[in-house]
Chains A and B, each alone.
Chain A
Amino acid sequence: MNEISKQARRYGMIVLVHLGVVILWQLGVSISNIPDYVMPSAGATLLSLGEDYGWVHNTYVTAVEVFGGYGLAVVVGVSMALIFSWFRIIETLFMPLMISLNMIPKVALGPLFIVWLSYGVSTNILVAFSICFLPILLTMERGLREADPDLIDLVRTLRASRWQIFTKIQFPGSLPYLFSGMKVAVVLAVAGAIVGEFIASEEGLGYLMLQVQVTLDTAAMFMAVLLITLVGVVLYGLVLLLEYLLVGQTAKEV
């Protein structure tokens, strides 16, 4: 009971703080004389949803790119980490390469992808993927490696099989690491998809931003940013939910 009311108060606070910012925004803009095309008010931003900018479609496209790139990154990142931990030789050969690749500013690859693949949703999925899969791979790989050697020794005294060591110790132990990487990757995936849309595309919220920029419809630009953020927040929420289901409230200290 107490626990529930504590939770309710916490979420109440979060909503209040956000509402407060919106109100301050509205008040600030209406009191000062900042022109609308520089800083639209909260109300004007909301009203821009009435314009015929294909909001639903563009948001959908961006969401597909973000979720697609992110999902792909999780699958590929986790699989590669598993392969690395099972076959040490592959890890020795390729891990340094992965760390070098991680240093490339992936955003700079966007134009190349477009040369290779022409533009479109799948290219943007690839840009989002390439920017966010390395953090997932690297954290998961670290988590699998980090298993306490004494703990491994302990189960080896019981002649535990490699599979048992993996399923009972290494894999569950790596999940908190994986989720810390997955949380970082959410923001990156969103950035990747938008950059892809900026470089070349004919749909999506990033594309829409460039369109309305030309007509100086700043309110619509604000709305686009809010919707992009919303896509990220929804994804982040899903990751938190998954973390809660798989890791629970324990072992969340990484």
Chain B
Amino acid sequence: MSESFIQLSDLRKTFKSRGEEFLAVSEVTFDVKAGELVSVVGPSGCGKTTILKILAGIHTYEGGSVNIGSQTNPFDPSKDIGMVFQQPLLLKWRKILGNVLLPAEILGLPRKESLDRARYLLEMVGLQGFEDKYPHELSGGMQQRTAIARALIHDPKLVLMDEPFGALDALTREKMNLELLRIWKESRKTILFVTHGIQEAVFLGSRVIVLTCGPARMADNITIDLPYPRLLEMKTHDEFGKYTRLIYKHLGMEDSEGSPSAITEACRID
């Protein structure tokens, strides 16, 4: 349980656009243990998505090293990644069940087992009975839960979530946080959870990796010593506030009265 599953060290990524080099990620180093849920926070444009896409093998990188998997826990990059984006990205011409099955089809998994598993996952995310609906018939939160079920259909070892609840209202978002913790507990996946929400990051993660922008650099790697299961009331605990204040401080907002979105904007301008 405690060996590391992901090892990033000194990761460096540049984008070339119109002849100019742009350093997007620099000196990012962290480990994630198998079965851990780690949050990543940072201002907009600081390279969070870029890091996830490097882990997913969509982007190349210029320096440092990325290691996923170990001898005892091998990792197959084509089968062991589940990804959830900020938007649900469902195929609107497919029913919910068909959407969940997409990765299984691409990987050529046996149809029968995949169907059973899709039904099981839809039940797990609370969407039993919606199998035959089209995405546009579902609310934003339900669509996002479909996307989560889709990310789990091929039983990946690693789930990469890129601000999956960013587009939801605060209330739905808190509900989804609780559901994610439940799903994580049931499925025991390794989850890397990118978010803008400092509260959300602390509430979910056993650790929070704080990035600062232009280029993305590690500001801190904070172990959150709050017990699981996490309960909403913990957000009012002193300890919880201590963690969020620390993160606010890292992001250049000493005064904890500022809202997280204000920080986000402040850093983007540079």
Contacts and interface: CB of A to CB of B under 8 A. Distances in A.
A250 B134 contact: yes
A146 interface: no
Interface stretch (B22-30, B87-95, B181-189): B87-95
A55 B262 CA distance: 73
Main secondary structure of the interface of A (DSSP, over half): helix
Interface in A132-174: 148, 150-151, 153-160, 164, 168-169, 172-173
Contact of A250 (B56, B58, B78, B93): B93
Most buried by A among B79, B93, B103: B93
B102 interface: yes
Contact of A156 (B58, B91, B107, B154): B58
B85 interface: yes
Contacts of B134: 250
Nearest to A151: B89
Nearest to B56: A157
Nearest to B134: A250
B58 A157 contact: yes
Given A168-B106, A250-B134, A250-B136, A157 B93 contact: no
Contacts of A155: 102-103, 106
Contacts of A54: none
Interface residues of A, number: 21
Given A157-B58, A158-B103, A158-B107, A172 B91 contact: yes
B81 interface: yes
Contacts of B136: 250
A60 B81 CA distance: 59
Interface string B103-123: 101110000000000000000
Given A154-B85, A250-B134, A250-B136, A160 B106 contact: yes
Tell me the dominant secondary structure on chain B's binding face: loop
Contact of B81 (A157, A160, A164): A157
A160 B102 CA distance: 11
A85 to B, nearest CB: 18
Contacts, number: 52
Interface string B39-81: 0000000000000010011100000000000000000011101
Contact of B106 (A148, A151, A158, A175): A158
B37 interface: no
Contacts of A175: 93
A158 B154 contact: yes
Interface string B127-157: 0000000101000000000000000001000
A157 B83 contact: yes
Nearest to A155: B106
Nearest to A148: B89
Contacts of A151: 89, 91
Contact of B93 (A148, A156, A248): A248
Nearest to A169: B91
A250 B99 CA distance: 14
8 contacts: A148-B89, A150-B85, A156-B58, A158-B78, A158-B81, A160-B106, A168-B91, A173-B91
Given A154-B83, A168-B105, 4 more contacts: A150-B89, A173-B91, A250-B92, A251-B92
